[in-house]
Structure 1
Amino acid sequence: MSTIAFYDQHSQDFFESTVNVDVSELYYAFLSNLPTNARILDAGCGSGRDTKAFIQMGFNVTAIDASAELAKVATDYIGQHVTVCTFDQIDPTLTFDAIWACASLLHVDASVLPDTFTHLANTLVDNGAFYCSFKYGIQDRTHNGRFFTDADESRLQQWLKNTGLIIKHTWITADARPDRENEKWLNAILIKAVK
């Protein structure tokens, strides 16, 4: 089963297990880099939790997800359409002030991540902010039917070479979900360099 098929099959369970998770500390680190009324791409929106929060804060948010079933659930929750597409299918003519990729890029194969980062960065304005998070580690693995690419600081740095993105800040957090406190996450704020 592919990772997308997993989310299609388990969309309701995934929604229920993530929609109420409090990640407000991550919001602060991200939003402090944004202009008022910023245009945000929620890349891999999952349950729609973060898109809804950003809209309620007054931001203009475009949400995408590769799982059609999860996109349906998120659309209902947000009250705004979620586009079904993969990262590399994003319309390159779109422009955003910021990209939010919370626990989503970790499903992209490590060999493809440099191109994925480049494609996403091409939709960002100069000095635009890009938040991403990965499970902390250096493995590529399949777990419970989903593929994961883990990252540490040096792995992330390697992927970002020649993408136009530079690391502003990284930090490690514990998983915010109950019973997952022992799982560590690498969080990063990236900035698109001015050409």
Structure 2
Amino acid sequence: MPTPKVCAVDSIPIDISFPMHQGNSTSFIYLLIYRGGMGKKESESQGAYKDHVEQTIRSYDLNAEEYENRYRSVEEPFLDFLLKFARTANKGRILDIGAGTGNDSKLLKSRGFDVTCLELSEEMDKRCRAKGLKTINMDMREMHLPANSFDAVLAKESLLHLRKSEIPKVFEKIKMILKPGGHLGLIMREGDADHILKEDAYFPQRFYSRFRKHRLDRLLRQHFDVIYDRVFEHRNKFLFSYILKNKKF
């Protein structure tokens, strides 16, 4: 039996490749083994990550290529929401928080916005830049950006990777960087979750928080005026979509 070639990535997944020879050519069979057993996706040991966000970002880094291949364009009903947001928001500078591979930002750029992607995953950040987008590689919890520097902010299914206790402070940061009367486009998921999603399709599993609508409404109205509010279903999940206006004080 040929000697396997072993490559470890931070000792999390172990990639073992067996050389297979046929004629004058050599190919490899790859096996992916996760700690705890071959082919078994188990949660990593406690303390493997500093916090839930680090684990989630690690997941996006490792799965960025698959993610981009799966989501090559903006899907409905998200497309309808983005187009409405583009029509409503003040044209100018827009910050896309948790921009992923940059599909939403690319669409907004085509609609006349000066888009900046804020993305903590380095692999996702690279894919945004490959699309010709400006990027900031930064944790949304640590946004140190000038006050009144953006006309609009988009946070489409990105804040849901934070703990519920962290989200109010992020709203305060968004309010600060938005110009008076600026707009926030927001999508969150319905539910009570505030934990690592064990049934996640990606590994390491990502962290999700979900809200009951009345609680999210109450939190949002502390900082913004609600000008659009719609609940929709997508892939057996209920999502809340909002277009909000920064309150003037």
TM bin, normalised by shorter chain, reads 0.7 to 0.9
The percentage of counterpart residues that share the same residue type is 25
Between the aligned partners of 1:63 and 1:108, the Cα distance in structure 2 is 18
155, 165, 171: which one aligns with 2:224: 165
- Please report the TM-score for the alignment, with normalisation by the length of structure 2: 0.70
What letter corresponds to residue 40 of structure 1 in structure 2?
I
Residue 87 of structure 2 corresponds to which residue in structure 1? 32
Unpaired runs of 5+ in structure 2? Answer: 1-48, 50-54
* Deviation of 1:161 (Å): 5.9
Q: Is residue 151–residue 186 contact of structure 1 (8 Å, CA) maintained in 2?
A: no
State the secondary structure of the residue aligned to 1:122: helix
Identify the structure with the greater helix proportion. Answer: 1
Deviations 1:73-105 (A, max 9, x none): 2211x2123221111332331511110111101
CA-based RMSD of the aligned residues comes to 1.7
What letter corresponds to residue 30 of structure 1 in structure 2?
F
- Please report the TM-score for the alignment, with normalisation by the length of structure 1: 0.88
In the TM superposition, 1:87-98 aligns within 5 A as 87-93=140-146, 95-98=149-152
In the TM superposition, 1:4-83 aligns within 5 A as 4-22=57-75, 23-35=78-90, 37-76=91-130, 78-83=131-136
* Deviation of 1:136 (Å): 1.6
State the secondary structure of the residue aligned to 1:109: coil
Between the aligned partners of 2:167 and 2:106, the Cα distance in structure 1 is 27
130, 151, 154: which one aligns with 2:211: 151
Q: Is residue 62–residue 82 contact of structure 1 (8 Å, CA) maintained in 2?
A: yes
What letter corresponds to residue 55 of structure 1 in structure 2?
K
Q: Is residue 105–residue 133 contact of structure 2 (8 Å, CA) maintained in 1?
A: no
In the TM superposition, 1:99-178 aligns within 5 A as 99-143=153-197, 144=200, 145-160=205-220, 162=222, 164-175=223-234
- Higher relative contact order at CA 8 Å, sep ≥6: structure 1 or structure 2? 1
Q: Which stretch of the first structure deviates more once superposed, 48-57 or 144-153?
A: 144-153
* Deviation of 1:18 (Å): 2.2
Greater Rg by CA: 2
* Deviation of 1:160 (Å): 3.1
Unpaired runs of 5+ in structure 1? Answer: none
The yes-or-no answer on 1:187 pairing with 2:222 is no
* Deviation of 1:135 (Å): 1.6
